[in-house]
């Protein structure tokens, strides 16, 4: 099974591109892990992820989120390759199927409360939305 959950902060404003057969919204997501090194000093390590949402779900993300906002995303890891100037490059993307709003003051590192916390809002999954009002509910 290819499924993951990430909790982090949006690194740049979501951008939506429209094609003949739909649209995709992309942004970078920073996840930060806090740990103690061998000397006992507290350290942080930030990883960056390429996030994509397709269709109405992506349009909702672009409407409600901006750079710096905390978000929980669920999706799957996808890999792609391309060639430019004779050099092959490989890219890892997270293709998302749902998201959760998080409180603006939410901690997003490994020492914060778990995403399953009772005070967190329920996941939003707009994958099968038929109406065109753009609301996530």
pLDDT tens profile 71-92: 999 999 999 999 999 999 999 9
Cα diameter, the chain: 56
- Band the pLDDT of 105: cuts 50, 70, 90: confident
N-term to C-term CA, the chain: 28
Evaluate whether 23 touches 55 at the Cβ level (below 8 Å): yes
- Looking at the predicted structure, is the pLDDT value of residue 129 above 80? no
Evaluate whether 10 touches 67 at the Cβ level (below 8 Å): yes
Evaluate whether 33 touches 101 at the Cβ level (below 8 Å): no
SS3 10: strand
For the chain, domains (ranges, CATH) are 4-101 (2.40.50.140)
């Amino acid at each position: 099974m290819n499924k993951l959950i990430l909790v982090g902060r949006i690194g740049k404003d979501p951008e939506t591109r429209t094609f003949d057969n739909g649209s995709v919204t992309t942004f970078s997501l920073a996840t930060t892990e806090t740990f103690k090194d061998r000397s006992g000093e507290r350290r942080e390590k930030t990883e960056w992820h390429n996030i994509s949402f397709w269709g109405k779900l992506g349009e909702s993300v672009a409407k409600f989120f901006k750079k710096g906002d905390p978000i929980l995303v669920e999706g799957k890891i996808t890999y792609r390759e391309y060639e430019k100037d004779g050099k092959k490059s490989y890219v890892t993307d997270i293709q998302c199927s749902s998201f959760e709003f998080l409180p603006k003051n939410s901690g997003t590192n490994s020492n914060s409360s778990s995403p399953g916390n009772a005070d967190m809002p329920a996941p939003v999954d707009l994958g099968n939305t038929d109406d065109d009002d753009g609301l996530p509910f």
